Structure 1
Amino acid sequence: MPSDGFHPFGGKVSKRFRDSLAPEDAYLSYYDVRLTREDVDTLKNDWLTDNTIAFWEEFLEREELVKYPSSHIVLLRPSMAFMLMQTRDPTSLREALPNFNETTHIFLPINDARNVSVAEGGSHWSLLLVSAIDGVAFHYDSLNPSNYREAQNATHKLSQLLGKQLRFVNLDSPQQDNSSDCGVYVCIQMRHLLLKRLLSANSRDKVSLSMGGKIVDATGGRKEMLKNIEGLRKEGERRRSHDESRSSSPFPRKKDKSPPRIDS
């Protein structure tokens, strides 16, 4: 597996079961995220759904961030970021959002959707990384300056919520060469900034958060994310099969139509 999604990744992804599902059918339940076949299929070459990006954030939290128990970094889900951007009074969301009192950094996927009544709206993703301890919001846009206004709006709303002024900085970011890779760029850059910049630095070090000069391998990133999902699905199937084999019931079990689940 590539260490950061910036290099080519080889390997084939099994799709036998996935092809038999309808787009809305559940494919994998991973802690608080339930992926459908449609979500997984977007990783082939399509625009990533909110749910696909939410899965990636959940994956980073459960597989990587958990290794750093003293860290205070929040990966805000797309739905929460959108809700924050659309509300007139951000402070009214305190109970719905994480407690930011001790948070040092916040990652927010930014979407240009404006219609709250349309599911999976918008046409572009970008990434906002807020350093709460420094009072700065760094924006990474792979189609710069497409989401400039949206990122500024999110910064203003988060500033109100945190009760402190945030300076907005539009940083250099690798640029995509098509119309569908923006979500993949968000996911790859999020992991790189989290693992290679924030979590790997000494607390006394001054960390550069610029992504200037980085080359993102979007195709490799898509394949890696698919491989992770397939691996988790197989593990979920293995656990379910193990639990069924230990059942003491003398009656045959009905075929379980729920998706494989990973929750521990």
Structure 2
Amino acid sequence: MPSDAATIEELLQPLRDDPKHSAVLLDVDGVLAPIVAQPDDAHMPETTRRPLIEVAKRYGTVACVSGRRASDARRIVSLGTIAYLGSHGSEVLLPGSIAPVLDGELMAWTQRVQAFAHDAFGEKLRRLRVRLEDKEAIAALHWRGVPDEDDALAAIEDVAEAAEKAGFVTHWGRKVLEIRPPVRIDKGAGLVGLLGETDLAAAVYVGDDVTDLDAFRGLSELQERGRLGYAVRVGVRSDETPVALEEEADTLVDGPEGVRGLLRALLL
């Protein structure tokens, strides 16, 4: 994949040509904020925040799309003038809003998902220092940075098998397993929900994980519906970059530093 600055500037030109009718859509962890061992320690550097503020002023739609809760994503980015799609698009926190709008169908599953997750989160997972994250209709098990990641993964695989037998859907990410209800939850659906009634000249999505492939496909869905003219899909390279992301991205940038350069390119 090409990733030099000239190529990226060329790919972004349709957005710069009509910024008020263009959308800038970004994942948070590994994109705006570097990946860290403890999720609560994640933060977006001020050197990234400054160009993001200017992008938010210039472009018609700017949103962060995260697997985290929307409120948590906004805490990390610390910018209230943009939208946040949290829990892979199942909750929407609009600019200036205090509380997110939740998907009613998904919320009906919350108690069942969380009850299963808390029952499964037994002494073995605690001993292995696996972390359980409550995301309303999604429960996530994280094992990044635990003392024995291989043992933790083996134990979590057992949980995944039990979850599927119980009728839930499992979704694997970078050192995280999500237990979801058997209804559609993905970043692509979230983007279509957010932008589906808006006619856009152009959009860029920037992501680093397998869940961002759904967002790439969400842009294609908007194009097929006639709601979006031009789309560019940017993958963020790291030592954990999924092969599928490299294959489906239009271009790649190197880590959050490369994303910062992309934001500055949008301001040229």
Q: Above 0.5 in TM-score?
A: no
The structure that is helix-richer by fraction is 2
TM-score, length of structure 2 as denominator length: 0.30
Query: Quick check: which has more Rg, 1 or 2?
Result: 1
The structure that is strand-richer by fraction is 2
TM-score, length of structure 1 as denominator length: 0.30
